[in-house]
Amino acid sequence: SQQGEEDPQALSIQEGENATMNCSYKTSINNLQWYRQNSGRGLVHLILIRSNEREKHSGRLRVTLDTSKKSSSLLITASRAADTASYFCATNYQLIWGAGTKLIIKP
Protein backbone atom coordinates (compact mmCIF):
# COMPACT_ATOMS: atom_id res chain seq x y z
CA SER A 1 0.00 0.00 0.00
CA GLN A 2 1.10 3.55 -0.67
CA GLN A 3 2.54 5.39 2.29
CA GLY A 4 1.97 8.86 0.91
CA GLU A 5 -1.13 10.22 -0.74
CA GLU A 6 -1.15 13.57 -2.51
CA ASP A 7 -4.12 15.86 -2.78
CA PRO A 8 -5.48 17.15 -5.09
CA GLN A 9 -4.86 14.65 -7.86
CA ALA A 10 -4.80 17.47 -10.40
CA LEU A 11 -4.48 21.24 -10.19
CA SER A 12 -4.68 23.83 -12.95
CA ILE A 13 -3.80 27.47 -12.25
CA GLN A 14 -2.76 30.62 -14.07
CA GLU A 15 0.88 31.53 -14.37
CA GLY A 16 1.89 33.77 -11.50
CA GLU A 17 -0.58 32.26 -9.04
CA ASN A 18 0.42 30.15 -6.05
CA ALA A 19 -0.08 26.40 -6.03
CA THR A 20 -0.62 24.33 -2.91
CA MET A 21 -0.66 20.57 -2.75
CA ASN A 22 -0.93 18.27 0.21
CA CYS A 23 0.43 14.93 1.26
CA SER A 24 -0.86 12.56 3.91
CA TYR A 25 1.01 9.55 5.19
CA LYS A 26 0.23 6.61 7.39
CA THR A 27 3.08 5.70 9.68
CA SER A 28 5.70 7.58 11.64
CA ILE A 29 8.51 9.12 9.65
CA ASN A 30 11.92 10.59 10.18
CA ASN A 31 11.76 12.68 7.03
CA LEU A 32 9.49 13.55 4.14
CA GLN A 33 10.66 14.51 0.69
CA TRP A 34 8.99 16.20 -2.27
CA TYR A 35 9.90 15.37 -5.85
CA ARG A 36 8.89 16.72 -9.22
CA GLN A 37 8.53 14.66 -12.38
CA ASN A 38 8.20 15.95 -15.90
CA SER A 39 8.89 14.35 -19.21
CA GLY A 40 12.01 16.35 -19.83
CA ARG A 41 13.98 15.91 -16.63
CA GLY A 42 12.57 12.81 -15.02
CA LEU A 43 12.23 12.67 -11.23
CA VAL A 44 14.02 15.47 -9.40
CA HIS A 45 14.32 16.03 -5.68
CA LEU A 46 12.89 19.36 -4.50
CA ILE A 47 13.12 19.51 -0.74
CA LEU A 48 13.50 17.33 2.36
CA ILE A 49 11.95 18.15 5.72
CA ARG A 50 12.83 16.22 8.86
CA SER A 51 10.31 15.12 11.44
CA ASN A 52 11.56 17.67 13.97
CA GLU A 53 11.07 20.55 11.51
CA ARG A 54 7.77 22.31 10.96
CA GLU A 55 8.56 24.48 7.96
CA LYS A 56 11.26 24.75 5.34
CA HIS A 57 11.88 27.11 2.43
CA SER A 58 13.82 26.72 -0.78
CA GLY A 59 13.51 29.50 -3.35
CA ARG A 60 9.84 29.65 -4.38
CA LEU A 61 9.04 26.47 -2.45
CA ARG A 62 7.67 26.30 1.06
CA VAL A 63 7.04 22.99 2.79
CA THR A 64 5.25 22.45 6.07
CA LEU A 65 5.03 19.30 8.12
CA ASP A 66 2.47 18.43 10.78
CA THR A 67 3.46 15.13 12.34
CA SER A 68 0.42 15.10 14.62
CA LYS A 69 -1.84 15.06 11.54
CA LYS A 70 0.60 13.03 9.48
CA SER A 71 0.46 15.57 6.70
CA SER A 72 2.65 17.91 4.70
CA SER A 73 1.98 20.68 2.24
CA LEU A 74 4.02 22.08 -0.62
CA LEU A 75 3.47 25.68 -1.69
CA ILE A 76 4.89 26.95 -4.95
CA THR A 77 4.72 30.72 -5.17
CA ALA A 78 4.60 32.81 -8.35
CA SER A 79 4.15 29.75 -10.55
CA ARG A 80 5.81 29.49 -13.94
CA ALA A 81 5.11 27.40 -17.00
CA ALA A 82 8.16 25.31 -16.15
CA ASP A 83 6.47 24.22 -12.92
CA THR A 84 4.04 22.11 -14.96
CA ALA A 85 4.77 18.59 -13.73
CA SER A 86 3.62 15.88 -11.37
CA TYR A 87 4.59 16.33 -7.73
CA PHE A 88 5.14 13.43 -5.35
CA CYS A 89 5.79 13.11 -1.66
CA ALA A 90 7.92 10.28 -0.40
CA THR A 91 8.56 9.19 3.12
CA ASN A 92 11.38 7.75 5.03
CA TYR A 93 13.56 4.80 4.54
CA GLN A 94 12.00 3.00 1.60
CA LEU A 95 10.86 6.16 -0.11
CA ILE A 96 7.29 4.94 -0.43
CA TRP A 97 5.35 7.16 -2.76
CA GLY A 98 1.86 8.44 -3.42
CA ALA A 99 0.23 8.76 -6.82
CA GLY A 100 1.18 12.41 -7.20
CA THR A 101 -0.48 15.76 -7.91
CA LYS A 102 -0.50 16.77 -11.55
CA LEU A 103 0.05 20.53 -11.75
CA ILE A 104 -0.70 22.45 -14.93
CA ILE A 105 0.31 26.11 -15.24
CA LYS A 106 -1.71 27.98 -17.82
CA PRO A 107 -0.02 30.92 -19.60
Partner 1 sequence: EAGVAQSPRYKIIEKRQSVAFWCNPISGHATLYWYQQILGQGPKLLIQFQNNGVVDDSQLPKDRFSAERLKGVDSTLKIQPAKLEDSAVYLCASSPRGLGGTEAFFGQGTRLTVV
Beta strands 101-106; 10-14: pairing state = parallel
Which residues in 42-71 contact partner 1 (CB under 8 A)?
Answer: 42-45, 48
Provide the 8-state DSSP code for 83. G
* Residue 74 burial (C-beta neighbours within 10 Å; 0-12, 13-18, 19+): buried
* Among positions 31, 38, 64, 73, the unique one binding partner 1 when judged by CB under 8 A: 31
Of the candidate spans 10-18, 36-44, 55-63, 70-78, the one that interacts with partner 1 by CB under 8 A turns out to be 36-44
Give residue 88's identity as a one-letter amino acid code: F
Positions touching partner 1 (CB under 8 A) are 2, 4, 30-31, 33, 42-45, 48, 88, 90-100
